[in-house]
Amino acid sequence: MEKVNWKVEGMDCTNCALTISKYLEGKGMQNVKVNFIGGDVSFDINGNASKQEIAKGIDGLGYQVHTGDEAQPKKQRRLFKNHWQRFIFCLVFTVPLFFGHLIPGIHIHALMNPYVQLALALPVYIVGMDFFGRSAIKSLWNGVPNMNVLIALGATAALGYSVYGMLIGQAEQYMFFETTATILTLVFLGNWLEDKSVETTQAALRKLAVSQKTMANMIAYDDKHEEHIFPVESTKLHVGDLILIKTGETVPMDCKILWGDASVNEAIITGESVPVEKKMNDKLIGGSIMESGTVKAYVTAVGEDSVMGNILKLVKAAQAEKPPVQQLADEISGIFVPSVIIISMITFVINYFYGHLTFADSLMRGIAVLVIACPCAMGLATPAAIAVGLGRAARNGVLFKNARSLEIFKSIRQVVFDKTGTLTTGHFKITGFSVNGEGAMVNNAEKLTDTNDAAQGSSSAIHHSPLTTHHSPLTTHHSPSTPDDFKRIAYSLERYSNHPIAKAIAKEWKVKDDIRWQTVEEVKGLGMKAVDKEGNEYIAGSFKVAQGLTEDYTHNVYIIRNNELLGWIDVADEIRPEAKQVISLLHSNNVKTILLSGDKKEKSEAVARQLGIDEVIAEQTPEQKLEKLAALTMQEPTAMVGDGINDAPALAKATVGISLSDATQAAMQSAQVVLMNHGLKNLPLSLGLGKHTYITIQQNLGWAFAYNIVAIPVAAFGFLSPTFGALVMGMSDVVLAVNSVRLNWKKVV
């Protein structure tokens, strides 16, 4: 199977998206996702199908496919490019027709001539049918009638009735040419206003997309090894290219600094405007801005593989997904148009046969029902709100992987936190160690959040013996003779782990003559395990691996060789500076907080007291964490925030899994939401955005249903003319878009 991502122009409503979805599914495509707001269409195609045939088929439905293939033949240019141009053209002919109605008592004899009115109405009707008529016929042909069917029927009925009056010589009693022209002209205006309004819902995403396209200073060397710098578009860069980035410039693509240092604004990704200091070997994110400094770097990722590319890809995918709340609206939209046509016919019959109105008045009421009904409102209600919610989230460093998470956040009542690397910074420092039973203090720094959270992301000890006042003797047989030997063993083991504690040890105790292992592996729930060429087995892990060798469970990492304890290492971790404020904000929103950790109960409770966390569940293995989270989720909807390998199963099990951007890949893949600002700062924003996006969807759907429920009977009873109905119909979508755009500024925390 091959993943296909296309841009499709011409989609105006949910029915358009349903038409394309139905066509693709009928052709055997899988995982079909269609977003009519952004025009994004994605699906999986098997080897038996031809992309050219599929694209041609979608074109045949009345839409324009952009596959990104430069060799694709150019489309024939149409006379009008957009609804604004159609509106202006039609307005020129509609104003004279409507002139007598605008100024009561003034009648221009020439304009009252039926043939003059027909001549003025025909150009408007032809342009209208070129758009609405084509779309209506193709939607009917594919079994998913759209709102253009209603517009085309209403305009055609008014024109046909007027022409009939001319043919029988009673034009004065049958003249509704101005109704035909006005309906089409005002609907073009409404569609243009809708398009402009919907575009504003995409503003945040467009801002991210524009940042992908910039100029770069590429570095090249000639045969004499002389450096040359020349400008290229960022989209032309490849992995490995050398670039120069100067003060004030945008980082063109993800890269790694080879020379120089700089202050970088990463607000485009993290939402945090405070510049971050970068030096040699640090990574730069494409789209960020160099506040000061000059660096030379090499490109590490381009296109969809870059951080920005991945964000845009995930956000677009989330937009195309349909959350549960949209399913009802889609079902109603699918039967809405046929229902309105039936209601329109019933309106005509009742008014003419039972209301004793004239044929003309009955027909006008039936047409008013057709043009005032708005299936687009129900189709636009959810996508517009989601587009704004996802866009604001991305702009502030919160990445939702699917739209479902936005909706589910409304019901979150408790948040579960991992400790190490989540509530704490994960930047550990070695504070002490012991070799052969002799302790050594590395520095006098206070241990802010000393942790036994398995050196490699494994579980904490389950031993509950009282804290001893002396260290148990270490077995000296085969023990390292010097602290340097002990450090060499610890570094050689920990350098293969991605856990923050292991990284800290490997960074501080780095040596050149590390041990070359015959085998080395990270054992979940245990730690690092390795065997040297002589067959000696080494383990670096929490107290769990040292039980039976010592009673002192107060240290973080224990080093063991051939079941003999060589020594221990203590490290300290700091609580994230924003953690306490985040917990307070959650409490102010009546959200319960829980600390779920593999660390010692005493240490976990100390952190909980410092931050004000409601409940502590400590000394849990990864399996126990999963069981506890499953139980909590059964009680009420629960969000889980974590960052380690051992958190991945729990993140996947939670109602909503939330990961930090500096988390392990396993954690980020398991989570539905990623906080891109390297911390917890935007956790309340993510919860608030989810809740208020759902509220906005409810408001939009409420308006859409209320509008149609009220407007259709009002038109049926003759309180609205077809002309005014066309204007009101166009404005109904604008109301939804404006209400959705409010999410950009609405206070959600």
Taking CA atoms, 323 is separated from 277, 383, 418, in Å, by 40, 10, 28
Q: Express each pLDDT in 385-433 by its tens digit.
A: 888 888 888 778 788 877 777 778 878 889 999 887 788 876 788 888 9
> How many Cβ atoms are within 10 Å of 178's Cβ, its own excluded?
23
Active site residue 418: yes
Residue 447 has pLDDT above 80, yes or no: no
Task: Give the pLDDT of residue 459.
Answer: 33
Distance CA 563, CA 536 (A): 10
Distance CA 357, CA 229 (A): 81
Both tokens assigned to 243? 């670039």
Q: Express each pLDDT in 157-210 by its tens digit.
A: 888 888 888 887 776 767 778 888 888 888 888 778 777 766 766 665 666 665
Taking CA atoms, 50 is separated from 3, 28, 44, 56, 474, in Å, by 13, 11, 12, 10, 70
Distance CA 450, CA 428 (A): 9
> Identity (one letter) of the amino acid at 666?
A
Largest CA distance in the chain: 118
Q: Express each pLDDT in 678-719 by its tens digit.
A: 678 888 888 888 889 888 888 888 888 888 889 889 989 988
- 421 membership: H or E segment, kind and range: none
Q: Which domains does the chain have, with CATH numbers?
A: 2-66 (3.30.70.100), 83-203+315-388+695-744 (no CATH), 214-305 (2.70.150.10), 397-424+576-681 (3.40.50.1000), 429-572 (3.40.1110.10)
Task: Give the pLDDT of residue 34.
Answer: 83
- 97 membership: H or E segment, kind and range: helix 83-102
**Which one, of 249, 234, 239, lies nearest residue 288 by Cα?**
249
**Which one, of 331, 316, 388, 324, lies nearest residue 15 by Cα?**
331
Residue 464 has pLDDT above 70, yes or no: no
**Helix, coil or strand: residue 43:** strand
Select which of 254, 418, 647, 733 is catalytic: 418
Task: Give the pLDDT of residue 287.
Answer: 82
What is the radius of gyration, based on Cα positions, of the chain?
Answer: 34
Judging by DSSP bridges, how do beta strands 2-9 and 64-66 pair with one another? antiparallel
> How many Cβ atoms are within 10 Å of 246's Cβ, its own excluded?
13
Both tokens assigned to 680? 């917890």
Q: String of b and e for 434-457 (b: at least 16 CB within 10 Å)?
A: bbbbeeeeeeeeebebbbbbbbbb
Task: Give the pLDDT of residue 356.
Answer: 85
- Asked if 734 and 677 touch (Cβ cutoff 8 Å), the reply is no
Percent share of the chain, pLDDT over 90: 16
Taking CA atoms, 274 is separated from 266, 290, 449, 501, in Å, by 8, 12, 26, 27
- Asked if 592 and 413 touch (Cβ cutoff 8 Å), the reply is yes
One DSSP character per residue, 694-720 reads HHHHHHHHHHHHHHHHHHHHHHHTTSS
**Helix, coil or strand: residue 398:** strand
Q: Express each pLDDT in 333-343 by its tens digit.
A: 668 888 888 99
**Helix, coil or strand: residue 183:** helix
**Mean local confidence (pLDDT), 478-506:** 84
- 470 membership: H or E segment, kind and range: none
pLDDT bracket for residue 474 (50, 70, 90): very low
Distance CA 579, CA 683 (A): 10
Task: Give the pLDDT of residue 188.
Answer: 87
Judging by DSSP bridges, how do beta strands 656-660 and 295-301 pair with one another? unpaired
Question: 522 Cβ partners below 8 Å, 6+ apart?
Answer: 456, 457, 496, 497, 528, 529
Q: Express each pLDDT in 123-137 by its tens digit.
A: 999 999 998 888 888
Lowest mean pLDDT among 223-232, 526-535, 604-613, 655-664: 655-664
